[in-house]
Structure 1
Amino acid sequence: MTGVRVRVAEPAEYPAVARLTIAAYEADGQLKGGNGYETVLADVATRAATGEVLVAVDEADDVLLGTVTFLLPGTPFAEVCGPGEAEFRMLAVDPAAQGRGVGVALVEACVTRARELGSSAVVICVRAGMAAPAQRLYRRTGFVRLPERDWSPLPDVDLLALRLPLNP
């Protein structure tokens, strides 16, 4: 995508990644109820130690626009991926950068990484009732519902599983 580049986050960027992620989740209404998820979102170093924290930056000035965490089965933050699958979580786009294709670039980077690793599919969970733009993004990129993997980590937090099969 022109104007947006996705790369691995550098440790010096972790505080900015944490702030952006929390701001995006707050803007989306996903942090209501005070369940402590902000602490998980802010702990970028732990996610980076067990997965790959990717960032989308503006090609012109390297300004941080968005982030996502890419995971493999058996890693601490992986929730629904099974053997041979990859997963991504905590996709967040700076509210000021929404509508620029940042989310698509991050999803595409995760799909590319999964293919590089020989994964058979990419899976994700989205919160039930999640904002329509996010749902459209996943539908547009080919993800389909996987209701048998839906789950609820907390009362009133229902997560819907989605899967994108990857062709060999």
Structure 2
Amino acid sequence: MVVRPAGPADFPAVARLTVAAYEADGQLKGENGYAVTLADVATRAAHGEVLVAVDADHGQVLGSVTFVLPGTRYAEMSGPGEAEFRMLAVDPAAQGRGVGAALVDACLARAAGLGCAAVVICVRDGFAVPARRLYERRGFVRVPAKDWSPLPGVDLLGLRLDLGAAGPA
């Protein structure tokens, strides 16, 4: 498996697998338009870095994530010195193969390379239990002060990993 920046040729596969992954774990039930946001990979790529995990043998896109810095369009909770990643998704057919871990590790390496002190993310309360376990295994800890709710009934829990770097992003 190789993790690399997504190119325009990857965008349709990224859109499909992201929506499929969010649908598979129930996160799109009752959502007002979030599937459209997830599928708009070109806009995400214009305002952040979309990374893909690709099967090295077949070139198939297995998963993706959007890496952002504070103050950018898709940054929801990062502050000075923090990076953030969002919309981590693994094709349901590829889950359990380490794709999510590879994408998280790529985001952590990117943040460290930029001199960020920490990486923050949010997970929906009651959903994405395997993802939350992955984040906790990587050292992310719950930061209740970063919890927030973009819509009634959508409660997001803030998680943070201190990278030990000094210096702003």
TM-score above 0.5, yes or no: yes
Per-residue Cα deviation, 1:18-40 (whole angstroms, up to 9, x for no partner): 01100000001000003110010
Quote the sequence identity (%): 72
Q: Partners of 1:108 and 1:58 in 2: how far apart? A: 16
Q: Post-superposition shift, 1:60? A: 1.1
Partner SS, residue 111 of structure 1: helix
Q: Partners of 2:98 and 2:164 in 1: how far apart? A: 24
Correspondence 1:13-162 to 2 at 5 A: 13-162=10-159
The one-letter amino acid paired with 1:94 is D
- The runs of at least 4 consecutive aligned structure 1 residues that moved more than 4 Å come to none
Per-residue Cα deviation, 1:86-116 (whole angstroms, up to 9, x for no partner): 0000000001111000000000000000001
Q: Name structure 2 gaps, 5 residues minimum.
A: none
TM-score between the two structures when normalised by the length of structure 1 = 0.96
Q: Partners of 2:13 and 2:91 in 1: how far apart? A: 11
Q: Name structure 1 gaps, 5 residues minimum.
A: none
Q: Partners of 1:122 and 1:132 in 2: how far apart? A: 19
